[in-house]
A and B are shown apart, each in its own frame.
Chain A
Amino acid sequence: MISTHNSYWFWGYPKAGLGTVIVLGGDEEDNKRSCAGLTLAAVHTCHYCIPYENNMPIYICRGLRVCPAEIWEVEKNFQ
């Protein structure tokens, strides 16, 4: 599990083996630009969550094109 949110940002990412990742949410077109191959694996629905977290797509991203360091630089999220 890696994330750029709060303390997860400090814990970082693996130095190797990030070729295939599971992506929770995000814009599909953005995700396609970052992956050699993007597959919609599932859509997560929930009755009691806030609306923008309902119907969240879960993608499998193969062949990550973006450098993780670049993601960490841009997506740092402390809130």
Chain B
Amino acid sequence: MGELSPRSPGHNESVSHPQSSILLILVFAFGILAFHLLVNAFGGYGIFRDEFYYIACSKRLALGYVDQPPLAMFLMDAGRWLFGESQFGIRVLPAFAHALTVILGGLIAQRLGGRKTAVALTCLAVSLAPIIIGHAGIFQMNAFSHVFWSLSGYFLVLIIDRSRPALWILLGLVMARRKPWNIIRRSIHCRV
């Protein structure tokens, strides 16, 4: 497929109309965000039992739990505070996480040289992937994992594309999100 062929260094055809691709990406992102918000507001099966556990964890914020890293529980606390302790309220941030994943997928496709069709196909695939819809359909840390892994992929593409060593630090920061003490280790390891 010519749409997906990688571009050579200095070849800027794919980014000659970045605004149109960005607009396309945002349309898909807002579409999936609206889908989640509507389902959470008017559908669904009520709060999932694991979500009750996460609510309990977020009421006892800590730097670690038996079965999960801490960030998701801080996000749950923020979500409850911002949007309310309801099925809709606690699932707003996972919905945004799916939208962010769509944006990052589109940006990766664009950065790899994809034109509008490739970008649209990527956004469609990330929007409709059942595993991501399922993970972002309730509150759980996996919804945010998709964002961080996509961000890692995006940084990796930027590193290959632009050859900027400083981006390795950002990649290390994103990949070390689960355990803060891994930040330095991974950043150093990535640069070797």
| Residues in chain A within 8 A of chain B (CB atoms) | 1, 6-11, 48, 78
B contact residues vs A (CB 8 Å cutoff): 45, 53, 56-57, 60, 65-67
Q: Are B60 and A7 in contact (CB under 8 A)?
A: yes
Closest 10 CB pairs of A and B: A6-B66, A7-B65, A6-B67, A7-B66, A78-B66, A7-B57, A11-B60, A10-B66, A7-B67, A9-B66
In the complex, which residues of chain B have a beta carbon less than 8 angstroms from the beta carbon of A8? 53, 56
Q: Closest approach, in angstroms, between the C-beta of B145 and any C-beta of chain A? A: 19
Cα of A5 to Cα of B110 in the assembled complex, Å: 45
Complex alpha-carbon distance, A10 and B45, angstroms: 30
* Chain A nearest CB, measured from B125 CB (Å): 28
A78 to B64, CA, bound (A): 14
In chain B, what residue has the closest Cβ to A11? B60
With contacts A7-B56, A7-B57, A48-B45 known, what are 5 further pairs, Cβ within 8 A? A6-B53, A6-B67, A8-B53, A11-B60, A78-B66
The chain B residue sitting closest to A10, CB to CB, is B66
Closest to B67 in A: A6
List 20 A–B pairs whose Cβ atoms lie within 8 Å, in order of A's numbering: A1-B56, A6-B53, A6-B65, A6-B66, A6-B67, A7-B53, A7-B56, A7-B57, A7-B60, A7-B65, A7-B66, A7-B67, A8-B53, A8-B56, A9-B66, A10-B66, A11-B60, A48-B45, A78-B66, A78-B67
In the assembled complex, the CB of B67 is this many whole angstroms from the nearest CB of chain A, namely 5
Task: Give the chain A neighbours of B53 by CB distance below 8 A.
Answer: 6-8
* Residue among B53, B57, B66, B67 having the largest count of chain A Cβ atoms under 10 Å: B66
Q: What residues of B have a CB within 8 angstroms of the CB of A11 in the complex?
A: 60
Chain A residues with CB under 8 Å of B56's CB are 1, 7-8
Closest to A53 in B: B49
Write out the residue numbers on chain B whose beta carbons fall within 8 Å of the beta carbon of A1: 56
Name the residue of chain A whose CB is nearest to the CB of B52: A1
Q: Please, how many angstroms separate the alpha-carbon atoms of A1 and B55 in the complex?
A: 13
A16 nearest CB across to chain B (Å): 21
B73 nearest in chain A by CB position? A7
